[in-house]
Chain A
């Protein structure tokens, strides 16, 4: 297994945003992580990447205990991510954004730049290489974050709602992109609200609700699970 979270708990004060979550991600798979808003998915991601330190539990990546490791250390081991709210480097061009990612494996700036151009071509941002990152809309930024992460040549890629806010066409393109990335041998964990995305990409799904895992299985199994239905319906009731 590539990623192993054992009994991960993350508390903010008395409130447990993630409560005793144990998730294993096998090398080469696409794992879907779903759950209503506020279920703790992003918080769990942040525990995996080191953006947040766990309150208790442990995280292993590629056989190494990274529970206390800094995010940059985990990135060097091959764990890459995108952010739910994009954090692109706003003062830079699209190309420079991706160059930052490429510099992780290419110490020379010129080599990194060449590599970055390559990646931009592959994710379909080639024509926008010289545009300032701040000229992109949210969908562009999300794609740029994927490109940046890819340029760091990761073993695993964590996508936090990378397709939120995309049009149906863009979603289809993005699914294609994720497939291609996966085809290149990269393990993927994907958080997504759009069920269609999860169904078409992941064979295994974990469902979070109020910080806890409430179901796991194939997309078909979990969507039929009464706990899952209750969690989603419960949310809808709260909303209206």
Chain B
């Protein structure tokens, strides 16, 4: 059996496991909840991956879109008594708009400006949200205490959330896969490798980066709305906190940024770790979370720049002909 065949078999097995996971854990609420949390985190990290991984534009402020989604959901309930999920499209629209506002001026500049702008905006919004009465101030807002109908998506068991998140994640990964294989996927990779060369070949780098950013923002916002339906509560820290942005980056980077399944793998590793440390250390774990994520960032940067998936997916590097035949002395010329 070839390694490729083995890999396919393993992937199929994992797919089946993912599908029946809630049945396997139905006895244990802790584990079904954990499954749902992994998928939710994977949605956020996969959304981040579109702009941060594929386009190589590292946003460290994606929490702002997550928060838009969560707050939109809770706000339509609080102020209009709509089902929270009805706020999802509003959050997505606002997020796309904000992405354009941030992206248009900064995506033209070098990547650092973009990264810094994304942090600055997210932090600004977090501070503003805590002073806004409309958004419930520092206390935050709560969703429906008891479900008023099926549309409230309020369940006691985590299993329904698991499947809702799974459907959304599958849709997002399907879309990403489709983009990856088409013109836009090629162009995003080209921009990531050399924006200058890409533009010399007619690629409107600015437009493609912006499109990736807006798409990414929309799905991150959806993740925020879904978060609210499950947790029923959001405050400035759980909506706009910098740790939310950092988690998306770290999960994607750990699994493999710019790879379809990278963020999911990162989420499947980090979410259980975090839940474990939370249950062991309780509230005291909050500070430690930062330390752990910091350590993971250092480790990835130092030893695993392409993420865990690069360890499995290292394709056989083509025939031996790959080596260039450049023997002999150069005639002349200068290589700056």
Binding site for B on A (CB under 8 A): 37, 49, 51, 70-72, 75-76, 80-81, 83-85, 87-93, 96, 99-101, 103-104, 107-109, 112, 127-128, 130-132, 135-140, 148-149, 152, 161, 163-171, 193-194
Contacts and interface: CB of A to CB of B under 8 A. Distances in A.
Interface string B323-336: 11011111111111
B276 to A, nearest CB: 35
B193 A89 contact: yes
Given A138-B335, A167-B326, A72 B203 contact: yes
B256 to A, nearest CB: 12
B332 A100 contact: no
Interface in B276-290: none
Contact of A72 (B183, B193, B204): B204
Given A80-B200, A130-B318, A166-B330, 15 more contacts: A71-B196, A71-B200, A87-B194, A89-B194, A103-B187, A109-B186, A138-B335, A139-B324, A140-B326, A148-B197, A164-B330, A164-B332, A166-B331, A167-B330, A168-B331
B192 A91 contact: yes
A136 B324 CA distance: 5
A49 B200 CA distance: 8
Given A89-B189, A92-B189, A132-B317, A194 B332 contact: yes
A132 B318 contact: yes
Contact of A193 (B202, B327, B333): B333
A91 B335 CA distance: 22
A103 B330 contact: no
B199 to A, nearest CB: 4
B20 interface: no
B322 interface: yes
A164 B6 CA distance: 46
B57 to A, nearest CB: 15
Nearest to B328: A167
A83 to B, nearest CB: 7
Contacts of A193: 332-334
Contacts of B186: 96, 99-100, 103, 109, 112
Given A164-B335, A167-B326, A194-B331, A152 B190 contact: no
A194 B330 CA distance: 11
A109 B181 contact: yes
Contact of B322 (A75, A80, A84, A132): A132
Given A103-B186, A109-B183, A135-B317, A71 B333 contact: no
B201 A152 contact: yes
A92 B193 contact: yes
B149 interface: no
Interface of B: 181-183, 185-187, 189-190, 192-194, 196-205, 317-319, 321-324, 326-336
Contacts of A92: 189-190, 193
Contacts of A101: 201
Given A89-B194, A166-B331, A137 B326 contact: yes
A165 B335 contact: yes
Most buried by B among A89, A104, A149: A89
A91 B323 CA distance: 16
B201 A91 contact: no
Nearest to A104: B202
21 contacts: A37-B334, A51-B200, A70-B204, A72-B200, A88-B193, A89-B197, A90-B194, A91-B193, A92-B189, A100-B186, A103-B201, A104-B202, A127-B321, A138-B326, A161-B333, A163-B333, A164-B330, A164-B332, A164-B334, A165-B333, A194-B333
Contacts of A71: 196, 199-200
Q: Give the 4 A-B residue pairs with the shortest CB-CB distance, closest first.
A: A164-B333, A131-B322, A75-B202, A167-B328
Contacts of B332: 164, 193-194
Nearest to B204: A72
Given A164-B332, A167-B328, A70 B183 contact: no
Given A37-B334, A166-B330, A100 B187 contact: yes
A193 B268 CA distance: 56
Contact of B201 (A37, A128, A148): A148
Nearest to A148: B201
A156 B222 CA distance: 47
Contact of A139 (B194, B319, B326, B329): B326
A90 B193 contact: yes
Given A70-B199, A71-B199, A167 B329 contact: yes
Contacts of A104: 201-202
Contacts of B336: 84-85
A119 B204 CA distance: 23
A128 B190 contact: no
